[in-house]
C-alpha cells in the first residue's frame, strides 16, 4: 500500500526494493547504465504515460501475445510480450521444450535454470522483450486443463524450480512474468469463478512460489482471471499491494491476464499496473486524471515500476543487441530435460529397458507413437521446426535386424468420408478477400484435397450437401487441414445440421487435436450419433492463407473401424515378443478434462493389448494424472508427459536403456476420481460460481496422507533401472532450519539418478491442522554402480513454520524428519525437537 501512495519513490529506493538477489539474476554489467527513471518520468506527457500502461495492436507483429508501444522520442522501447511456459510462442519456429510438469519431475533447479535460459535467449533472439512465463499455480485439481504447464502440487518444489527458471530467463536479458497470481488452479469458469480460500492456505500453499519468484527478482507478475475471496485477482488490493508490495517488496510491475481487467482507476489503485492486451479500461485513465477522479501520482507509480524494469534490463535508450537463435543448443536442453523428467512408474520383473529379443519383434500401438504429442494446448503451445515420432526414433535406435511394427489401436484419423455417404455440391469458390469466382457450382464427390490434390494457396471454398450414414452408430467426424488463414474461430470448419463440430486454424487451437494426422494435417472434430439412412445437412468451409497450399479433408471413423483398430492392435501384440502402448490425454488451456480416465476409448485398447501380450509396457503422454484400470495387467509404465520436440528421441533412449529414468512425480496420481481432495463439487468446480478451497492446506499428497487414502502413485514416486539404498541419517539445527544428511548408495549395476526427499512430520497435537508430512527439501544425485555418497539437504526455517495471525510462527515440539525415495517410500527417520 505504502508504495502506491508514495509517488516520490526514488531510483535508489527502486534498486533497494529489487534487492541484491534481483541484481544477481542478471548478467554482470547489466545494471551499470541505470538511467534516471524519475527524470524520464518527468518528461512524459500524461497520454504517453498511460500508453505505457496498456497493450495495443502491434504494427509489425512477430506473433507474440501482447504489445506495448514505446515512446521513441525518449528512448523508451516498444515491448513485445510472448508466451510461454514451454518455449517461445511466436510466428517463427521455436524450441518446443518439454511441458513444465516434466521439468518439475526432474526436481532440479539447475535444469530449471537451463530450461529458462533456452527460452530467454530464444525470446530475445526472436524479438521479444517480456516472457509470459513461468506459470507456477499449484496443481490442486487432478483434471485441471493447465496442469501440464505448471510445476506440480508442492509449494517448496515449485518455488525451487520457479527460482531456477527465472534466473535462466532473466539471465539472458528477457523479462520474466510469473503467473497467474493467484489461486488460478483450474480452467472451467476461470474468468468468473470466485475462489474462497483462507489466508493461511494462501500463504502456505498457493503463494510460496510467487513469493520466491519475487525474492529472486522477477520483473513482472501476471494477475489471474478469477476472483479471490470476492474480488477479481486483477483488482485485489490484498494480493497486489498488501502482500506483493508491502510484504514481499516487489519492485516490478503487474500486468493483467488477457482481458482479466475489469476496471480502470480501481484496478490501478489496487496495484495492477498494466492492462493487457488492450486498453479497454486503462485507455480511460488519462481522462480519469484530467477529471480529477484519479491522482496522477498513481499513474506515475505504475509507469515508474515499468520503467525501472526496462532500465534494469538495459532496454532504455537504444536497448541491447539481440543474440542469434541457437536451435541446436535448445534441442540439447530439450532432450536432456525430456530424459531427466521421465518417470518410471512401474517396472515389474525389470521388463524395461527392452532387450534385443524384445526388439526382434516389437508391437508398438497408439496414435502418439506415430504422430508425436509434443506439448499441451492453448497459449503454452509452441510450434517447433520439427519433431520426430517415437516410432521413427525407436526404429532408428534399435539394432539392425529389429522388427518394430505399429498399429494405431485408437484411430484418430479415419478415412475420407466416401462418396457413397455424401451428396455434395461445391457451391462457392473465392479468394481470401472473399471475392467470388467461377460460374456454375461444380459437383464434388468427396472433400479430400490433400497432398498433390491441395487447393490453391489463398483460395476459399465452401461445400454444402448432406451426409448419410450407412448404419446407426457413433461416428467420429473429422475435419483435417493445413494452410488455413489463422483466425479466432478457425478457418477450415465442419458444420453438421447447423452445429459447428470442428475447426482447424483457430488461434487458440479451437477443438483441434494436439496430435496431427499421419500426413501432418491438423485434425479436429467430434463424435456424433448418426441414424442409418437419415440425411444430415453438412457444410465444409475453408479459407486459405497466401503462400501455402490449402489442404482440406472431411474424414470419419466409423463404429466398425473403431472395433477393427482395436482388434488389429491386439492381434499385432499377440504375435509379438513385447508390446508398447502409447496412451495420451490432451491437456489444454481453456477447459478442464471431463474425466480423469484416458480419453477416446484408450482403456479398452490398453487392456486388449495387455491381455494379448504378457510383456506390455505403457508409455504415457499425459500432462497430469490419469486412471489406470489396466494397471495390474501391464508390466511397465513410463510417464513421458508432453516431452517436447526431442521427446521421441528421449523416449526411445529410455526404453532401450541408453538412459536411466530418474524423474519423480510432482503430483499425486489418485486411484479413483472420488479419492481426489477436490472431488466434492463445492470444492471443484464450485457451486453457484464459488469454489470453496475447503480442503485448506491439505492439497495433493498432504490430503492423501492425512486421510489415509492410498494413491495409485504417490507424490515423489519414480523408479529406476538400478536400486538405491539409504542410511546414516543425521539431523542438526542450522541457521534457523535444519541440516539433514544421509548416504545414498547405488546398489545396482547401472548408473542412475535418485531424488532423495526430506519430509517433515507435524508435531504431536499441532497448533493448527497440519499435513502429517510435508516436503522440506530434496536433492538429485547421479551415482555410478556401487557408488555411495553423503547427501546434505538444507531445510529452510520456513518449512518449520505455519501462518497464523498475520505472521510465520514456528511449529515447535517433537517432529520427525523422514528421508525417502517418495512421499510413501520413507526409508530413514529421526525425531527432533524444534524450538
Residue 509 or 737: the one with the smaller Cβ distance to ligand BGC is: 509
Minimum distance of ligand BGC from residue 326's CB (angstroms): 24
Closest contact distance (angstroms) between CB of 187 and ligand BGC is 9
Residue 84: asked if its preceding bond is cis (omega within 30°), the reply is yes
C-alpha 358/C-alpha 356 separation (Å) is 5
Exactly one of 79, 132, 393, 620 binds ligand BGC (CB under 6 A); that residue is 132
Q: What is the CA radius of gyration of the chain?
A: 27
DSSP structure class, residue 431:
E
Tell me the C-alpha distance between 363 and 654, whole Å: 17
Residues whose CB falls within 8 Å of the CB of residue 395, separated by 6 or more in sequence, listed in order: 402, 404
Q: Considering the complex, what minimum distance in angstroms separates the CB of residue 228 from ligand BGC? A: 16
Residue among 54, 80, 179, 798 that touches ligand BGC (CB under 6 A): 179
Question: Which of residues 379 and 616 has its CB atom nearest to ligand BGC in the complex?
Answer: 379
Active site residue 110: no
Nearer to ligand BGC, 133 or 460 (CB): 133
Residue 692 CB, nearest approach to ligand BGC (Å): 23
Single out the residue of 3, 83, 275, 592 in contact with ligand BGC (rule: CB under 6 A).
83
| Closer by beta carbon to ligand BGC, 177 or else 523 | 177
**How many Å apart are CA 802 and CA 26, to the nearest integer?**
32
Position 258 contacts ligand BGC (CB under 6 A): yes
Minimum distance between the CB of residue 272 and ligand BGC, rounded to whole angstroms?
A: 15
Q: Helix 11-24 vs helix 296-312: angle between axes, to the nearest 10 degrees?
A: 40
Q: Which one is catalytic: 257, 311, 411, 448?
A: 257
Q: Which three cell numbers stand for residue 139?
A: 496443481
DSSP H or E segment with residue 233: none
Rounded distance between C-alpha atoms, residue 630 and residue 622, angstroms: 16
254 sits near ligand BGC (criterion: CB under 6 A): no
Residues binding ligand BGC: what is the number (CB under 6 A)? 8
Type and span of the H or E element at 759:
strand 757-761
CB of 94 to ligand BGC, least distance (A): 14
Q: 147 or 639: whose CB is closer to ligand BGC? A: 147
- Kindly state whether residue 235 participates in binding ligand BGC, applying the rule CB under 6 A: no
CB of 793 to ligand BGC, least distance (A): 33
Any idea which residue has 503463494 for its cell?
A: 207
The nearer residue to ligand BGC, 120 or 748, going by C-beta atoms, is 120
Cβ 324 vs Cβ 635: under 8 Å:
no
Nearer to ligand BGC, 90 or 576 (CB): 90
Angle between helices 559-575 and 602-612 (to 10 degrees): 30
Residue 181 near ligand BGC by CB under 6 A = no
The verdict on 137 binding ligand BGC (CB under 6 A) reads no
Helix (H, G, I), strand (E, B) or coil at 230: coil
Nearest to 480 by CA among 507, 505, 453: 505
Specify whether the CB–CB gap between 161 and 150 falls below 8 A.
no
Choice from 122, 165, 211, 257 touching ligand BGC (CB under 6 A): 257
86 contacts ligand BGC (rule: CB under 6 A) = no
Report the distance separating Cα 810 and Cα 762, nearest Å.
11
In the complex with ligand BGC, the residue whose CB is nearer, 277 or 718, is: 277
Scanning the structure block, which residue is given the C-alpha cell 541457521? 735
| Cα–Cα distance, 365 to 109 (Å, whole number) | 35
Q: Is 379 one of the binding residues for ligand BGC (CB under 6 A)? A: yes
- The strand pair at 522-530 and 175-181 is best described as unpaired
Query: Least separation, in Å, of the C-beta of 214 and ligand BGC?
Result: 18
Least distance between ligand BGC and beta carbon 177 (Å): 8
The cell numbers describing 282, all together, are: 486503462
CB crowding 577-588: b at 16 or more within 10 Å, else e = bbbbbbbbbbbb
Query: Does residue 277 have a cis bond before it (omega within 30 degrees)?
Result: yes
Q: Considering only residues 14, 65, 131, 289, which one is a binding residue for ligand BGC as defined by CB under 6 A?
A: 65
Instruction: Decide whether 256 or 450 has the Cβ nearer to ligand BGC.
Output: 256
CA 293/CA 226 separation, integer angstroms: 27
| 749 CA to centre of own chain | 35
Minimum CB distance to ligand BGC smaller for 509 or for 777: 509
Instruction: Name the minimum Å distance from CB 386 to ligand BGC.
Output: 24
Q: In the range 7-26, which residues lie near ligand BGC by CB under 6 A?
A: none
704 sits in the region (left: phi over 0; alpha: psi -120 to 50; else beta) called alpha
Distances (CA, A) of 499 to 427, 469, 479, 821: 19, 17, 14, 52
Residues 525-544 that bind ligand BGC (CB under 6 A): none
Among residues 84, 209, 325, 696, the one that binds ligand BGC under rule CB under 6 A: 84
Task: Write out the residues near ligand BGC by the rule CB under 6 A.
Answer: 65, 83-84, 132, 179, 257-258, 379
Active site residues: 257
Amino acid at each position: 500500500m505504502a508504495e502506491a501512495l508514495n509517488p516520490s519513490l526514488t531510483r535508489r529506493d527502486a534498486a533497494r526494493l529489487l534487492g541484491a538477489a534481483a541484481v544477481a539474476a542478471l548478467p554482470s554489467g547489466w545494471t551499470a547504465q541505470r538511467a534516471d527513471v524519475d527524470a524520464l518520468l518527468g518528461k512524459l506527457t500524461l497520454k504517453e504515460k498511460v500508453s505505457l500502461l496498456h497493450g495495443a495492436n502491434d504494427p509489425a507483429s512477430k506473433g507474440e501475445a501482447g504489445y506495448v508501444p514505446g515512446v521513441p522520442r525518449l528512448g523508451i522501447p516498444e515491448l513485445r510480450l510472448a508466451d510461454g511456459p514451454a518455449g517461445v510462442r511466436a510466428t517463427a519456429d521455436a524450441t518446443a521444450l518439454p511441458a513444465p510438469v516434466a521439468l518439475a519431475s526432474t526436481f532440479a533447479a539447475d535444469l530449471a535454470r537451463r530450461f529458462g535460459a533456452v527460452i530467454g535467449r530464444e525470446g530475445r533472439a526472436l524479438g521479444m522483450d517480456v516472457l509470459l512465463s513461468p506459470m507456477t499455480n499449484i496443481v490442486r485439481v487432478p483434471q485441471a486443463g493447465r496442469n501440464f504447464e505448471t510445476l506440480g502440487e508442492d509449494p517448496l518444489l515449485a518455488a525451487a524450480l520457479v527460482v531456477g527458471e527465472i534466473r535462466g530467463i532473466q539471465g539472458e536479458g528477457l523479462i520474466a512474468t510469473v503467473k497467474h497470481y493467484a489461486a488460478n488452479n483450474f480452467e472451467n469458469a476461470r474468468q468468473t469463478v470466485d475462489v474462497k480460500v483462507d489466508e493461511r492456505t494462501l500463504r502456505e500453499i498457493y503463494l510460496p512460489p510467487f513469493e520466491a519468484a519475487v525474492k529472486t527478482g522477477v520483473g513482472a507478475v501476471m494477475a489471474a482471471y478469477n476472483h479471490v475471496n470476492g474480488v477479481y485477482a486483477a483488482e485485489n488490493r490484498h494480493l497486489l499491494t498488501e502482500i506483493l508490495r508491502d510484504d514481499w517488496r516487489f519492485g516490478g510491475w503487474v500486468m493483467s491476464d488477457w482481458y482479466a481487467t475489469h476496471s480502470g482507476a480501481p484496478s490501478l489503485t489496487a496495484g495492477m499496473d498494466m492492462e493487457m492486451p488492450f486498453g479497454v479500461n486503462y485507455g480511460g485513465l488519462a481522462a480519469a486524471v484530467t477529471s480529477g477522479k484519479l491522482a496522477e501520482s498513481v499513474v506515475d507509480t505504475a509507469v515508474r515500476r515499468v520503467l525501472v524494469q526496462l532500465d534494469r534490463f538495459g532496454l532504455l535508450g537504444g536497448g541491447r543487441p539481440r543474440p542469434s537463435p541457437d536451435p541446436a543448443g535448445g534441442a540439447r536442453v530439450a532432450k536432456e530435460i525430456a530424459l531427466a523428467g521421465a518417470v518410471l512408474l512401474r517396472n515389474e520383473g525389470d521388463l524395461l529397458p527392452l532387450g534385443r529379443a524384445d526388439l526382434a519383434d516389437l508391437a508398438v500401438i497408439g496414435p502418439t507413437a506415430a504422430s508425436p504429442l509434443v506439448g499441451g494446448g492453448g497459449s503454452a503451445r509452441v510450434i517447433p521446426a520439427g519433431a520426430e515420432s517415437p516410432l521413427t526414433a525407436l526404429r532408428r535406435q534399435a539394432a539392425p535386424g529389429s522388427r518394430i511394427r505399429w498399429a494405431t489401436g485408437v484411430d484418430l484419423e479415419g478415412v475420407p468420408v466416401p462418396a457413397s455417404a455424401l451428396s455434395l455440391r461445391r457451391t462457392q469458390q473465392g479468394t481470401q478477400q472473399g471475392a467470388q469466382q467461377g460460374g456454375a457450382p461444380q459437383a464434388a464427390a468427396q472433400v479430400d484435397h490433400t497432398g498433390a490434390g491441395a487447393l490453391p494457396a489463398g483460395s476459399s471454398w465452401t461445400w454444402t450437401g448432406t451426409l448419410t450414414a450407412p448404419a446407426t452408430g457413433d461416428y467420429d467426424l473429422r475435419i483435417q487441414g493445413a494452410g488455413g488463414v489463422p483466425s479466432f474461430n478457425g478457418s477450415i470448419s465442419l458444420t453438421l445440421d447447423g452445429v459447428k463440430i470442428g475447426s482447424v486454424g483457430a488461434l487458440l487451437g479451437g477443438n483441434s487435436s494436439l496430435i496431427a494426422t499421419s500426413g501432418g494435417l491438423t485434425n479436429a472434430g467430434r463424435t456424433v450419433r448418426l441414424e442409418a439412412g437419415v440425411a444430415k445437412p453438412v457444410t465444409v468451409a475453408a479459407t486459405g492463407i497466401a503462400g501455402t497450399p490449402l489442404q482440406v479433408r472431411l474424414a470419419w471413423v466409423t463404429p466398425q473401424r473403431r472395433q477393427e483398430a482395436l482388434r488389429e492392435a491386439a492381434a499385432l501384440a499377440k504375435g509379438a515378443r513385447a508390446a508398447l502402448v502409447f496412451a495420451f490425454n490432451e491437456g489444454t488451456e481453456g477447459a478442464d478434462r471431463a474425466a480423469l480416465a484416458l480419453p477416446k476409448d484408450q482403456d479398452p485398447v490398453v487392456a486388449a493389448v495387455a491381455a494379448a501380450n504378457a510383456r506390455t509396457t505403457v508409455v504415457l503422454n499425459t500432462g497430469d494424472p490419469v486412471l489406470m484400470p489396466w494397471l495390474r495387467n501391464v508390466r511397465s509404465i513410463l510417464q513421458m508427459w508432453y516431452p517436447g520436440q526431442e521427446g521421441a528421441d528421449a523416449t526411445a533412449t529410455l526404453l532401450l536403456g541408453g538412459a536411466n529414468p530418474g524423474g519423480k512425480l510432482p503430483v499425486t496420481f489418485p486411484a479413483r476420481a472420488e479419492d481426489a481432495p477436490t472431488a466434492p463439487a463445492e470444492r471443484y468446480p464450485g457451486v453457484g460460481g464459488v469454489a470453496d478451497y475447503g480442503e485448506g492446506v491439505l492439497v495433493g499428497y498432504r490430503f492423501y496422507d492425512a486421510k489415509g487414502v492410498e494413491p495409485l502413485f504417490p507424490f515423489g514416486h519414480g523408479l529406476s533401472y538400478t536400486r538405491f539404498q539409504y542410511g546414516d541419517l543425521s539431523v542438526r539445527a542450522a541457521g534457523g532450519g535444519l541440516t539433514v544428511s544421509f548416504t545414498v548408495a547405488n546398489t545396482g549395476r547401472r548408473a542412475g539418478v535418485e531424488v532423495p526427499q526430506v519430509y517433515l512430520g507435524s508435531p504431536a497435537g499441532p497448533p493448527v491442522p497440519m499435513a502429517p508430512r510435508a516436503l522440506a527439501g530434496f536433492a538429485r544425485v547421479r551415482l555410478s554402480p556401487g557408488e555411495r555418497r553423503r547427501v546434505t539437504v538444507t531445510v529452510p526455517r520456513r518449512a518449520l513454520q505455519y501462518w497464523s495471525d498475520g505472521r510465520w510462527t514456528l511449529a515447535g515440539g517433537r517432529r520427525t524428519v523422514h528421508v525417502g525415495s517418495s512421499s510413501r517410500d520413507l526409508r530413514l527417520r529421526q525425531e527432533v525437537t524444534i524450538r
